[in-house]
Structure 1
């Protein structure tokens, strides 16, 4: 799944990406946007791949799979994103590392994703704190 996802992403093919998901799949992105079916996942990624990530490259570095049953597995993948589009005064957005969680289920059409969640990795931080300027990564340990 992680390699098929990155292949579709790097090809800017939202249809191919959405085809990896069950019709009623769930997807939560890094900011907490939550899409509730394959078409919503396709539409959101079509927009993102056109406007936000149109020159980006996504790559997989680490994958771990945990079978839960003969036809269900959880797949975690560490991924690296580079080349995000400039925005809000950031001319060259830096590289990001994320961890994807995919809940996979084998059905008549093979393995499809039932649910996915993407989380940004913020090195050295333990949590986020909500303040007057929004969320800020922080750590409590000194």
Structure 2
């Protein structure tokens, strides 16, 4: 019994040391990546597209919630400047939940659930009650700075029923 307890203790300590090493290795980068994610939301809420795009690499591609695909930050900024004036000028982007996955020391995948308040269509329809989604960002560390290199924004259809919610766990 003592041998079994000793073995379990050693395994637990080894697992804890491994987890601590893994977390410590990327903790500064994970924090920097989360700051970019938060900075993007804050820039959106200020309706400041110059600040918003300071977090993007010039070659960053983007697919928006309705499938428009912009192949660089200049195209994305041009479109967002128009949309900010027409329908997003009173919006607030709220981050509900964020996950970061370090793919390499210089490459990170970020996903966050969001809700958008104050979204009004050009015809006056308030879209806030249907504005929830998932944003996926790919960030790369370039010259010591984390920048978005690709992103995709997906709306959540509240009528859709995810079968995983009924899955036995």
TM-score range with shorter-chain normalisation? 0.7 to 0.9
Over residues 56-110 of structure 1, what are the superposed CA-to-partner deviations in whole Å (9 max), with x where a residue is unaligned? 11111100001100000100010110101244462x3233111000001001150
Task: Determine whether 1:81 maps to 2:116.
Answer: yes
Task: Determine whether 1:16 maps to 2:16.
Answer: no
Query: How far apart, CA to CA, are the structure 2 residues paired with 1:8 and 1:46?
Result: 13
Does the Cα contact within 8 Å between 1:100 and 1:119 map onto a contact in 2?
A: yes
Does the Cα contact within 8 Å between 2:86 and 2:122 map onto a contact in 1?
A: no
Q: How does 1:1-142 map to 2 (within 5 A)?
A: 1-88=36-123, 90=125, 92-95=126-129, 96-125=131-160
Does the Cα contact within 8 Å between 2:135 and 2:154 map onto a contact in 1?
A: yes
Report the count of equivalent residues: 126
Query: How far apart, CA to CA, are the structure 2 residues paired with 1:89 and 1:13?
Result: 23
Which structure has the highest strand share of the two?
1
Give me the TM-score of the superposition, normalised by structure 1.
0.82
Structure 1: which 5+ residue stretches go unaligned? Answer: 128-142
Query: How far apart, CA to CA, are the structure 2 residues paired with 1:18 and 1:68?
Result: 23
Structure 2 CA distance for partners of 1:32 and 1:86, relative to 1, 3 Å: closer
Query: How far apart, CA to CA, are the structure 2 residues paired with 1:86 and 1:27?
Result: 21
For the residue of structure 2 that corresponds to 1:62, the secondary structure is: strand
Give the superposed CA RMSD: 1.7
Query: How far apart, CA to CA, are the structure 1 residues paired with 2:124 and 2:104?
Result: 48
Over residues 109-133 of structure 1, what are the superposed CA-to-partner deviations in whole Å (9 max), with x where a residue is unaligned? 5000010000001124169xxxxxx
Which is higher, the Rg of structure 1 or of structure 2? 2
In structure 2, what is the equivalent of residue 140 of structure 1?
none
Over residues 2-58 of structure 1, what are the superposed CA-to-partner deviations in whole Å (9 max), with x where a residue is unaligned? 211111111111111112111111000000001111111211111111111111111
